[in-house]
């Protein structure tokens, strides 16, 4: 499916938040996805992932998660300096600010003429996987895909301690988790804690683990794993298709 791309601006707490939107070219109405990047924001690797998903029939809306700190359009390079910069941006962003951004993107999708208002989901990577997990607390989110989400058991997300692991009961939809078994940022104990908490909360969920490292779905890094990425996308697309019947 061919897609079209655009950038929109949303105002959140008097800060301009750029949102990259990729959607099917064919006229119609489609499910909407709140799409979260990793700490490097909307660089080429992340936009390719967003575009790929849009090609399966979704309106994908990807916000710049550090818009209160970084100038509009800032892309953080995925190197040592970029890692320090992105992590510092994350530490300086309030948990409540992340939540407010989520609300704004959901409201945008609900108001967009090309989106089926009652079919909204979320997908994210790394810190974005954690943000996608938190997005599941919103009533509109029917399906959440969290790819190697960091900081959920520890509460590490932004300024303050995130209460994510303690709010499982607020999830109304279904979850899909993607992990790399060689990921030092989400060790086995953390993975098991997340899974067990979902099970104890009776939250419908699926878990797929691959013999891969952290950020294995970024095609511009040394940890990229094409086979694991292809397998993960197959499960993600099948899950979303089932959830939204597209």
pLDDT digit string, tens, across residues 5-57: 999 999 999 999 999 999 999 999 999 999 999 999 999 999 999 999 999 99
Q: Which two tokens stand for residue 60?
A: 């994908």
Number of domains present in the structure of the chain: 1
Strand 59-63 relative to strand 15-24, pairing: antiparallel
166 classed as catalytic: no
CATH number of the domain that 105 lies in?
Answer: 3.40.50.1820
Strand 15-24 relative to strand 3-12, pairing: antiparallel
214 classed as catalytic: yes
Looking at residues 84-104, what average pLDDT do you find? Answer: 98
DSSP states of 193-212: HHHHHHHHTT--EEEEEES-
Going by C-alpha positions, the residue among 239, 55, 66 that lies closest to residue 147 is 239
Q: Which helix (H) or strand (E) holds 29?
A: none
Count CB-CB contacts under 10 A for residue 146.
Answer: 30
14 classed as catalytic: no
d(CA 24, CA 114): 9
Name the active-site residue from 38, 89, 112, 183.
183
Name the active-site residue from 102, 126, 146, 147.
126
Q: Does pTM top 0.95 for this prediction?
A: yes
Going by C-alpha positions, the residue among 23, 151, 48 that lies closest to residue 91 is 151
Name the active-site residue from 67, 130, 205, 214.
214
Q: Which residues span the domain enclosing 81? A: 3-244
| pLDDT, tens only, 114-125 | 999 999 999 999
């Amino acid at each position: 499916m061919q897609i079209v791309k655009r950038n929109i601006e949303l105002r959140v707490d008097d800060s301009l938040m750029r949102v990259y939107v990729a959607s099917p070219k064919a006229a119609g109405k489609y499910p909407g996805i709140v799409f979260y990047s990793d700490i490097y924001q909307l660089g080429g690797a992340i936009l390719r992932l967003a575009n790929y998903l849009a090609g399966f029939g979704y309106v994908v809306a990807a916000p710049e998660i550090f818009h209160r700190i970084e100038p509009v359009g800032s892309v953080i390079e995925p190197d040592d300096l970029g890692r320090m910069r992105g992590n510092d941006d994350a530490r300086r962003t309030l948990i409540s600010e992340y939540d407010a951004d989520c609300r704004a993107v959901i409201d945008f999708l609900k108001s967009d003429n090309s989106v089926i208002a009652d079919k909204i989901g979320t997908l994210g990577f790394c810190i974005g996987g954690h943000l996608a997990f938190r997005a599941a607390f919103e009533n509109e989110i029917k399906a959440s895909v969290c790819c190697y989400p960091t900081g959920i058991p520890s509460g590490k997300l932004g300024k303050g301690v995130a209460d994510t692991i303690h709010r499982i009961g607020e999830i109304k939809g279904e979850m899909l988790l993607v992990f790399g078994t060689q990921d030092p940022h989400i060790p086995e104990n953390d993975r098991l804690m997340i899974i067990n908490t979902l099970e104890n909360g009776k939250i419908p969920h699926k878990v797929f683990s691959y013999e891969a490292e952290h950020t294995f779905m970024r095609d511009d890094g040394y940890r990229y794993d094409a086979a694991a990425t292809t397998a993960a996308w197959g499960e993600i697309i099948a899950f979303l298709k089932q959830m939204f019947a597209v």
